[in-house]
Amino acid sequence: MAHFSYRAIGRDGRPKDGSIEAEGLELASRQLRAQGLTLLSLQPGEAQQSSAVTPGAIKRQAILAFTSELAVLLRAGLPLDRSLRVLIDMAAQAPVKTLLQDLLKSVKGGKSLSQALAPHEALFGGFYLNMVRAGEASGQLSAVLDRLVEYLENARANRDTVVSALIYPAILLVVSILSIVVMLGFVVPQFETLFEDMGEALPPLTAMVIAAADFIKAWGWLLALLVAGAVMALRNWLRTPEGRAARDQRLLRLPLAGSIVFQFEVAKFARTLGTLLGNGVSLLKAISIAIDTVDNVVVKEALQVLPPAVKAGRRMSVAMEETRLFTPMVIQMTRVGEESGSLDYMMLELARVFDQQVQAGVKRGLTLLEPVLILGMGFVIAVIIIAILMGILSVNDLAI
């Protein structure tokens, strides 16, 4: 988002200088006029320095509490600056108080809440900022904050469910890997003296296991360094546009996870679009804001066809169908919403349906993960044990 410096005359007739963040010069001009300012000059400028709080310093629970309390205060009729002062007095954690003080300073300087939150996008996320922007555009900020509270609570519940379900498989995976490393690095070498005189008479499976054990014992440290280096290189590559695009494309092609990722991204888009339209935001602006909430590059690029299609007077459902990415359910529900004049309701309904399917898919995937790990690691350990037993039996046969 670009930064612009402006000079204007306020409603009280006093000159006012400041800066604003917007997606373009025209949008910045509209936002300033909406604040009752008469523009004298508006030009691109440097971003103002902000005492942005490190994202890790504030937990998600604090963001949820801030959103809930701010919604209550605004619903009670308090102005935004007064609400922020009350929250500052209530804040118990220093990072939260610093964040609120920075927001209050920006709001007192003439910025809207979404503009004040923009420097802290890494903390709040794009979806949060876009929802706040929608509430400001519709004049229903407290209602949108209530929806944000519901969204954050559901996200926390889903996250806690997934984390709790992953604890046992994670422990199982670590223990299994350690067991395999111990067996190959310490147990199998103990039998090498027993097998070393057998030469070619040693069973092939036993020879393979002993070779693997020798490799881990001799080059295990190098293997660990190579794995760590590969992980770091992969992480750096995934931060590039090419890496993100390749990763997102492969995610969508996965048998089970692909549909979950697709439904999750479309649900975010549909929920934002439905909320914006329900609050009176124009279709074109609502689509642009909703697209920004999508994280998957492939889905986001497919949705980019919607703004020019709407500008040309075409239907969203037709443009979606031409991308060959969206499922018939997405297309049909969009078409029904367009034909019935209730696109906002149908988008929210689509988001609700996909949310349910995502939760069901995650539970199904976690249910399958545990037996897959048990069978996979059990198979590897069983192969090692069988190889050792085959070697021992071969020694006994030679002895006889």
DSSP string, 350-373: HHHHHHHHHHHHHHHHHHHHHHHH
- Give tens-digit pLDDT for 322-367: 999 999 999 999 999 999 989 999 998 998 899 888 888 878 887 8
pLDDT band at 49 (very low <50, low <70, confident <90, very high): very low
The pLDDT, as a whole number, for residue 39 is 75
Identify the pLDDT of residue 201: 66
Nearest 10 degrees: Cα torsion 322, 325, 326, 327: 110
For 95, the domain range is: 55-153
pLDDT in tens, 165-185: 668 778 888 888 888 888 877
Structure-block tokens of residue 369: 């993960």
- Compute how many other C-beta atoms are within 10 angstroms of the C-beta atom of residue 171: 10
- Round to whole Å and give the CA distance between 81 and 216: 63
**Whether residue 168 is found in the same domain as residue 289:** yes
Over the stretch 63-73, which tens digit does the pLDDT of each residue have? 888 999 999 99
- At residue 53, does pLDDT exceed 70? no
Is the domain of 194 the same as that of 295? yes
Residue 52 has pLDDT above 60, yes or no: no
Residue 47 pLDDT greater than 80, yes or no: no
Task: Examine the domain organization and report whether 261 and 394 are in the same domain.
Answer: yes
Mean pLDDT over each residue of the chain, to the nearest integer: 82
Q: Of the residues 153, 180, 214, which one is the last residue of a structural domain? A: 153
Within a domain: 50: no
Task: Examine the domain organization and report whether 318 and 191 are in the same domain.
Answer: yes
Provide the residue type at 191 as one letter: F
- Does the structure show a pLDDT above 50 at 157? yes
Together in a domain, 129 and 265: no
Q: What is the pLDDT of residue 13?
A: 64
What's the confidence (pLDDT) of residue 338? 93
Residue-wise pLDDT for 87-143, tens only, equals: 998 887 888 889 999 999 989 888 889 899 988 888 887 778 878 887 887 788 888
Does the residue 49 lie in any domain? no
**Does 229 lie in the same domain as 366?**
yes
The per-residue pLDDT for 50 is 45
Same domain, 167 and 148: no
- What band does 48 get if pLDDT is binned at 50, 70 and 90? very low
Q: Are residues 147 and 164 in the same domain?
A: no
**Are 38 and 97 in the same domain?**
no
Distance from the Cα of residue 194 to its chain's centroid: 54
Q: Is residue 272 one of the residues assigned to a domain?
A: yes
Does residue 199 share a domain with residue 148? no
Q: How many domains does the chain have?
A: 3
Is residue 334, in this structure, part of any structural domain at all?
Answer: yes
Token digits of residue 209: 């296991």
Q: Are residues 158 and 224 in the same domain?
A: yes
